[in-house]
Structure 1
Amino acid sequence: MPASLKLRSIAIGVTDLAAAEQFYVSTWRLAPVARSEDAVYLRGSGAGHHILALHRSEQPDVRRVDFVVEQHADLARIADGVRTHAGRVLADAHDNAEPDGGIALDVQDPQGRHLRFVHAPALQAETGGADAPVRITHVVFNSADVAAAQAFYERALGFSLSDRTRIMAFMRCGSDHHSIALADADANTLNHIAFVMPDLDAVMRGAGRMSDAGYPIEWGVGRHGPGNNVFSYFIGPDDFVIEYTADVLQVDDSYRVGKPEDWTWPAGRFDQWGVSKPPSDRIKQAQKKIRFTHQ
């Protein structure tokens, strides 16, 4: 029986912790819930304890991606799957020392990404902020070998493929169309982090707020094909690519897996609506540069 997973948060290294906190609180609209000398934990308007952790760092990086598991027994199943399918267990189930608590399992996928699975973490009361991100809905990883990465996430962790385009494999672990996606690339880096907003209006107001603060839209606003979600992409501090999104397609096992030929656009079109301009050259570079560390 595969583990029941839910994407919860991402931990990133930032070169100016105070400035990054200011941005993600004042402009991106998250809220601080805990801090240490070298880290700040930020929540969305949903029930997750935090959805973004900022860590003081000499260079921008991705420290870890966290998932919540429903059952304590899921941790052992995940550890066994990781060991069987060429991953690495960094720390078997242990008391989580970070502010969300619970029991944590730390693993590394075959391409070097640190993943944490937490059972029974602390929760927050939902705030329902109209223009605040609710949660992280997906993280996109660049992969030098998408087929190998896809096989690991399917066989070791129980993910399912929702769609395969010419350049990306969209993988789900719940009802969201995808919680991770694997993008064909030359290196195993971060592509972007997607924060789901309450609705289309919240995406548009957030885009206006970002523009007012000096962060132009780098791609969008538009509606994707796979996932059907509205998107608006930006480059945040330290060149992390971040997305406001809404209307994420909800699927189950009856969903027909799409193939590359199912997802093609006419020449010059970059979204379903046909209104989005192409991704900027700046975002194309930023989507390749943030590396994963093993801290």
Structure 2
Amino acid sequence: MSDLRDPHTDLHSDQGALAGEHPGRAADPVVKVHDLAWLEFEKPDLARAERFARDFGFAVALREADELHLRGREPSAPCVVVRRGRRSRFVGTAFRVAERDDVARLAAATGARVARLPESLGGVCVDLRDPGGGLVRVVCDPLQLTALPDQRPLPINAGRHVARINAAQRPPREPAAVQRLGHVVLQRTAFRRTLDWYLKMLGLLVSDFLFFAGQRERGPVMAFIRCDRGATPADHHTLALTLGPSNRYVHSAYQVADLDALAAGGEYLADHGYRRSWGIGRHIQGSQIFDYWRDPDGFLVEHYTDGDLFDASLEPGWAPMSASGLAQWGPPATRDFLGLKPGRDAIAELGALLGALAADNEFDVGRLRGLIKVARS
């Protein structure tokens, strides 16, 4: 009977907090953000960025000499804002609140000022910095783009539930139409301080914590964080934070219609010479079916579908972090996805690691040992 044991039993975040562990929420947050609004990047070659964006499945909302706005099919603000810069870099994250009073409340609590956004985006904002130095732009009333025609999920014959008769299944090999921005993952050297800042300032809730094996008493090293919409379900994570030797962007994720759109869109990307980082598989935390790609500037981006939705009543899960625990099924996590593939980025991260060990932050030798165990798992 032991051979029939589910190998994922110990990997799922189905155990709750122990006494005295992080509650995963702030008692009295300043505001409660409603969702991600967009991500901001700088890139030197906007024509190349646009080609990849269209192949990945974005629509273009604005194209000017020095600015590119990418959107999904749902009615919303752009998903991604790209401005021309001397080098490729991630600039920051924009979150949306429902009321202008929330923007004013954040400004009063932080000493920042309320500003108008450019006409191309609309609305007002307050610009903050998280403890890792990352730009956090909180916006209200941005321009609302009208919905675009979307890829419809294919009718599926599932067991005795028959939805398709006298018709073959032929998903077109075309870009997977991005519906919306789902989440962003950031690495921080001061993980706990950054986590508490987002929970306090933006009213976010932790869905799942991960900890290094054998180091649970030191606290979590990764948090999957959702918006607090009360009884209305929200994505399992809108933001994820992980402890590491540098403060950087890890990846961002964009929802598509279904598995066929994701898989056929991946074939389209491969046909056009782009590099898959990891996939296709299904995650554990969040349950999304995923497929990761590198854009021409080296940024990691994800197509996903079928993710979990939680309301505010659910308490955080806790689980050990491991490379094999990143997916329920699919190929093993690649060295590229884990940041271990030799190259410029890996060398930069190694340099950051040496600097982090000499600095006063949460990434110390014990945490380095835990991270090495994760990579070897």
Instruction: Give the TM-score taking structure 2 as reference length.
Output: 0.69
Q: Kindly tell me: are residues 155 and 105 of structure 1, through their superposed partners in 2, closer, same or farther at Cα, counting changes over 3 Å?
A: same
Map of 1:271 onto structure 2:
327
Structure 1 residue 148 and structure 2 residue 204: aligned? no
1:264 CA drift (Å):
6.2
**Contact 1:189–1:289, Cα closer than 8 Å, also in 2:** no
1:23 aligns with 2:52: yes
SS in structure 1 at match of 2:327: coil
- The aligned counterpart of 1:181 is 240
Which residue does 1:164 correspond to in 2?
209
Question: Map of 1:49-198 to 2, 5 A cutoff?
Answer: 49-81=77-109, 83=110, 89=112, 92-130=113-151, 131-166=176-211, 167-174=221-228, 175-198=234-257
Q: Give the letter aligned to residue 226 of structure 2.
A: R
Q: Secondary structure at the match of 2:139?
A: strand
Q: CA deviation at 1:216?
A: 3.1
Task: Tell me which residue corresponds to 1:227.
Answer: 286
Structure 1 CA distance, aligned partners of 2:288 and 2:238? 13
Supply the AA of the counterpart residue of 1:137. Answer: G
Question: For residue 43 of structure 1, what is the amino acid of its counterpart?
Answer: R
Amino acid at match of 1:103: V
Aligned partner of 2:336: which letter? D
Partners of 1:288 and 1:76 lie apart in 2 by: 42
Partner of 1:284: 339
Structure 1 pair 6/242, CA: closer, same or farther in 2 (3 Å)?
same
Do the aligned residues in 1 keep the contact of 2:61 with 2:70 (CA within 8 Å)?
yes
Amino acid at match of 1:120: D
Q: TM-score, normalised by structure 1?
A: 0.87
AA paired with 1:10?
L
The offset of 1:184, in angstroms, is: 1.5
2:357 is matched with none
Q: For the residues of structure 2 that align with 1:264 and 1:284, how far apart are their CA atoms?
A: 14
Greater fraction strand: 1
Whole-angstrom distance in 2 between the partners of 1:127 and 1:287: 39
Q: Deviations over 1:173-215 (max 9, x none)?
A: 1411111101111011000011111222221122111111112
SS state of the match for residue 57, structure 2? coil
**TM-aligned CA deviation for residue 288 of structure 1:** 9.4
Cα 1:109–1:282 change in 2 (3 A) is closer
Residues 150-175 of structure 1: CA deviation (Å, up to 9, x unaligned): 00001111111111113421111141
Q: Is the 8 A contact 1:30 1:44 kept in 2?
A: yes
Displacement after TM superposition at 1:246 (Å): 0.9
Number of aligned positions between the proteins: 279
The Cα of 1:270 is off from its aligned counterpart by 4.7
* CA distance 1:234–1:289, change in 2 (3 Å): farther
- Structure 1: 5+ residue runs without aligned partners? none
Distance 2:348 2:268 in 1: 26
Deviates more, 1:170-179 or 1:72-81: 72-81
Q: Which amino acid aligns with 2:96?
A: V
Structure 2: where are the runs of 5+ without partners? 1-28, 152-175, 212-220, 229-233, 353-377
The 1:159/1:80 distance shift into structure 2, 3 A limit, reads farther
The residue type paired with residue 332 of structure 2 is: K
Contact 2:253 2:302 in 1 (8 A): yes
**Residue 8 of structure 1, aligned match among 11, 15, 37:** 37
Deviation digits for residues 32-83 of structure 1 (CA, Å, limit 9, x no counterpart) = 21233311111111112211111111111112211221111111222344x2
